[in-house]
Chain A
Amino acid sequence: MSQSPPSLRRRPAPPLPWLVPGVVAGGLLPLGGLLLAALRGELGANPVQEALLQTGGLALALLVLSLACTPLRRLTGWSWPARVRRALGLLAFLYAGLHFLIYLLDHGFVAATVREDVLERPFVTAGFVALLLLVPLALTSTRGAVRRLGFGRWQRLHRLAYLAAGLGALHFWWGVKQGGAAPLLVGLLVAALLALRLKGGRARP
């Protein structure tokens, strides 16, 4: 197999070349499962609610995983967590967007209903703001955006991910009739990750 000499390549090939594609494929797997179950009518008695719960849960889980990357890299010295962080964040945004789209579909895209929900019900407000916060992060997830913004500004902007995850956990907590263990666990994880970051002092690139 012929390979171009290292001097001609823009960057050396990273180790574990399957890492990021693997994470993306793995992250899309539950979406495939969800679509298949929906087509086969296997989402239970309340399929819309089930789809809402699954997409919302996946969004939160992926967001928490993306936040865990930097502490994991620091604790272990491994470099691979930093390389999958963007994929995890974008997957979280994908699922959060789907979650909102299903909510809109469920309410027939009636603007008045959605406006009332977003403005008057803290449960919906928290989830909506969390999704809004993810939009600029998704838009600036490219290398080019980091260059244009400068690393310091880009990094400050992307700290919003913690706020989004916190609001997401609150949204989850408020969405269940009586506080369950799962929303509490997510909230504690976000708090712990935030504490780890604050304790870690200034982040390195």
Chain B
Amino acid sequence: PPPPARPPGPYDTSEAVTPYAQATGYNNFYEFGTGKDDPARLAASLVTQPWTVTIDGEVRRPVQLDLDTLRGWFAPEDRVYRLRCVEGWSMVMPWQGFELGALLRRVEPTGAARYVRFTALHDPEQLPAQRPSFFGTTALDWPYVEGLRLDEALHPLTLLATGLHGRPLPGQNGAPLRLVVPWKYGFKSIKSVVRITLTRTRPQTTWALAAPHEYGFYANVNPDVPHPRWSQATERRIGEARRRPTLPFNGYAAQVASLYRGLDLRREF
């Protein structure tokens, strides 16, 4: 049965939601492999219970706690967000979660905190593509690390998701806890987070280290700044035949463009 209708919130898009099968069957989660169906095929090996999250660094109240305890701190919210992958495809995702800002305020950032570094699970036993290949290589350096400026992290759009389509977050979508930053390319929205660290300096992030000329720290969705190897002007919404134009900040310019006033978005891509 369809979930009971709820009035759309101020941050929700009213665009057609991507069906569950596509949203959970076509994923990038390189810890499982680079194929789009690898995560759905292999995510059963991910153990999400129990799950410990560490929040440390430039905070007055560092904490290490079980995810169930953390979830008990906040009432879950529904957010229907656009998701735009840097590869040129997009979806509409009905997330459940809570605002990252609420969590950060609770642990009280110190006056020195400027950035937030997120670290994903590093466990080759559970995440097969973290094991070196036959050639002794891995697709990326593990663990996967992402980062935000503190003001981006505190923005009410920025979510820590624990559910999708009204169900617990599936492994392939980053169970049990993932970041969702809807105005940035999908790779910023780190999956299976185990550690959140507030820092004074800008964190070194995985894709920016792997290919610095292609993936910047900001990674704001921007149709005017092409990827060096492909255009970002259009995208394919999963389920649609024709490409559609990509919107600045993935359609969230009214909410977030002011965060970047005075920043050269071509240089700080």
Q: Which A residues fall within an 8 A CB radius of B?
A: 44-46, 48-49, 106-108, 113, 116-117, 120-124, 174-178, 180-181
Contacts and interface: CB of A to CB of B under 8 A. Distances in A.
B123 to A, nearest CB: 21
B6 interface: no
Most buried by A among B135, B139, B229: B229
Most buried by B among A122, A177, A180, A181: A177
B101 interface: no
A177 B86 contact: yes
Chain A interface mostly helix, strand, loop or mixed? helix
Contacts of A120: 226
B87 A177 contact: yes
User: Would you list the 8 A-B pairs with minimal beta carbon distance, nearest first?
Assistant: A45-B26, A123-B229, A45-B22, A45-B238, A174-B229, A178-B139, A180-B34, A46-B89
A121 B231 contact: yes
B75 interface: no
Contacts of A178: 30, 34, 139-140, 210-211
B113 to A, nearest CB: 31
Chain B interface mostly helix, strand, loop or mixed? loop
Contact of A108 (B86, B89, B242): B242
Contact of A122 (B25, B37, B87, B229): B229
Contacts of A181: 133, 135
A128 B226 CA distance: 19
Given A121-B226, A123-B230, A175-B229, A45 B211 contact: no
Interface in B195-246: 210-211, 226, 228-231, 233-234, 236, 238-239, 241-243
Contacts of A45: 21-22, 25-26, 36, 238-239
Nearest to B37: A44
A48 B236 contact: yes
B231 to A, nearest CB: 7
Nearest to B25: A45
Given A45-B239, A176-B34, 19 more contacts: A45-B21, A45-B26, A45-B36, A45-B238, A46-B89, A48-B236, A106-B236, A107-B243, A108-B242, A113-B234, A121-B228, A121-B231, A122-B229, A124-B230, A174-B229, A177-B86, A178-B30, A178-B211, A181-B133
Q: For chain B, which range describes its interface: under 10, 10 to 19, 20 to 34, or 35 or more residues?
A: 20 to 34
Contacts of A113: 231, 233-234
Contacts of A116: 231
A108 B211 CA distance: 31
A110 to B, nearest CB: 9
A46 B36 contact: yes
A175 B34 CA distance: 13
A117 B228 CA distance: 11
A46 B89 CA distance: 8
Most buried by A among B26, B231, B241: B231
A120 B26 CA distance: 29
Contact of A49 (B37, B233, B236, B242): B236
Nearest to A116: B231
Nearest to A123: B229
B243 A46 contact: no
Contacts of B231: 113, 116-117, 121
A188 to B, nearest CB: 12
8 contacts: A45-B21, A46-B36, A48-B236, A107-B243, A113-B234, A123-B230, A176-B34, A177-B87
Given A121-B229, A178-B139, A46 B241 contact: no
Most buried by B among A45, A121, A124, A178: A45
Nearest to B86: A177
A195 B163 CA distance: 54
Nearest to A124: B230
A176 B36 CA distance: 12
Contacts of A174: 229
A121 B230 CA distance: 6
Contacts of A44: 25-26, 36-37
A13 B76 CA distance: 77
Contacts of A106: 236, 243
